[in-house]
């Protein structure tokens, strides 16, 4: 039975401390001159030219590819007086170099992680939207109930005011002026007792 074998990235076999060291060292590498200055066999740093023109090179750490250096093509442009300034003007030839760090996962894995994170975020946003819609419906129902309650309270208050007004009118009608110019309550006529005696049987 053949043993199980896996294809792994060599750069991912570095320890966490070595990865942090590589990242710190590469932060200051901007050109091939910086790469050659970094070469140190004792520390494990190396640089090898990939093409015949010296435009492409790889920085290695303990035999592991850590970064790629590429010198982009530079051309001279002479614009006409009426033309605007061209894009990408450089004043330092070293700016033509581009460093690409090689540590980390592949673009495919990055795309998968980003896609998974996007799908998860999209699902969470949909849940938030549904929750927001439900809360808006609750708020709308509460506002309708509050509006109805206000109308009911206003109706009761109007009835109370009409009742007080009627009571005041009735009180004024039952009061008449006396001989001294003062108001006095109207006296009700006394009831007359019957003079008939009860007959004895």
Please check the confidence at residue 182 and state whether its pLDDT lies above 60: no
CB 66 within 8 A of CB 26: yes
pLDDT at position 160: 81
Kindly report, residue by residue over 98-155, the tens digit of the pLDDT.
999 888 755 565 566 667 777 888 888 888 888 898 999 999 999 989 988 888 888 8
Choice between 35 and 194, residue whose per-residue pLDDT is larger: 35
Q: Rounded distance, CA 56 to CA 100, Å?
A: 11
Q: Rounded distance, CA 48 to CA 68, Å?
A: 10
Choice between 48 and 161, residue whose per-residue pLDDT is larger: 48
Over residues 181-194, the mean pLDDT reads 52
Q: Rounded distance, CA 99 to CA 87, Å?
A: 21
Please check the confidence at residue 60 and state whether its pLDDT lies above 90: yes
Over residues 48-76, the mean pLDDT reads 91
User: For residue 175, what are the β-bridge partners?
Assistant: 185
Kindly report, residue by residue over 6-36, the tens digit of the pLDDT.
888 888 888 889 988 998 989 889 888 999 9
- What is the tally of helices (H) and strands (E) in the chain? 3, 6
Please check the confidence at residue 44 and state whether its pLDDT lies above 80: yes
Contacting residues for 72 by C-beta, under 8 A, at least 6 apart: 96, 97, 98
Q: Is 26 exposed, middle or buried (0-12, 13-18, 19+ CB in 10 A)?
A: buried
Q: What is the mean pLDDT of the chain?
A: 80
**With bands split at pLDDT 50, 70 and 90, how would you rate the model's confidence at 156?**
confident
Q: Rounded distance, CA 180 to CA 71, Å?
A: 121
pLDDT at position 169: 66
Lowest mean pLDDT among 49-53, 76-80, 188-192: 188-192
**With bands split at pLDDT 50, 70 and 90, how would you rate the model's confidence at 172?**
low
User: For residue 59, what are the β-bridge partners?
Assistant: 47, 67
Choice between 190 and 99, residue whose per-residue pLDDT is larger: 99
pLDDT at position 198: 46
Compute, in degrees rounded to 10, the torsion defined by CA atoms 156, 157, 162, 166.
100
Rounded to two decimals, the pTM is 0.50
Please check the confidence at residue 200 and state whether its pLDDT lies above 50: no
């Amino acid at each position: 039975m053949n043993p199980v074998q896996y294809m792994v990235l060599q750069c991912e076999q570095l320890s966490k401390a070595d990865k942090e060291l590589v990242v710190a060292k590469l932060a200051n590498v901007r050109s091939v001159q910086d790469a050659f200055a970094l070469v140190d066999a004792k520390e494990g740093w190396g640089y090898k030219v990939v093409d015949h023109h010296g435009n492409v090179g790889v920085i290695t750490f303990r035999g592991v590819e850590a970064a790629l250096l590429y010198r982009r093509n530079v051309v001279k442009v002479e614009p006409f007086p009426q033309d605007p300034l061209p894009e990408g003007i450089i004043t330092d030839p070293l700016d033509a170099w581009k460093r690409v760090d090689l540590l980390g996962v592949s673009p495919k894995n990055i795309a998968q992680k980003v896609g998974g994170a996007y799908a998860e975020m999209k699902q969470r946003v949909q849940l938030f939207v549904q929750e927001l819609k439900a809360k808006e419906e609750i708020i709308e129902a509460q506002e309708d109930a509050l509006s109805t309650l206000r109308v009911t309270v206003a109706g009761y208050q109007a009835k109370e005011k009409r009742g007080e007004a009627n009571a005041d009118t009735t009180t004024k009608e039952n009061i008449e002026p006396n001989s001294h110019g003062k108001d006095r309550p109207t006296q009700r006529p006394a009831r007359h007792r019957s003079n008939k005696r009860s007959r004895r049987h």
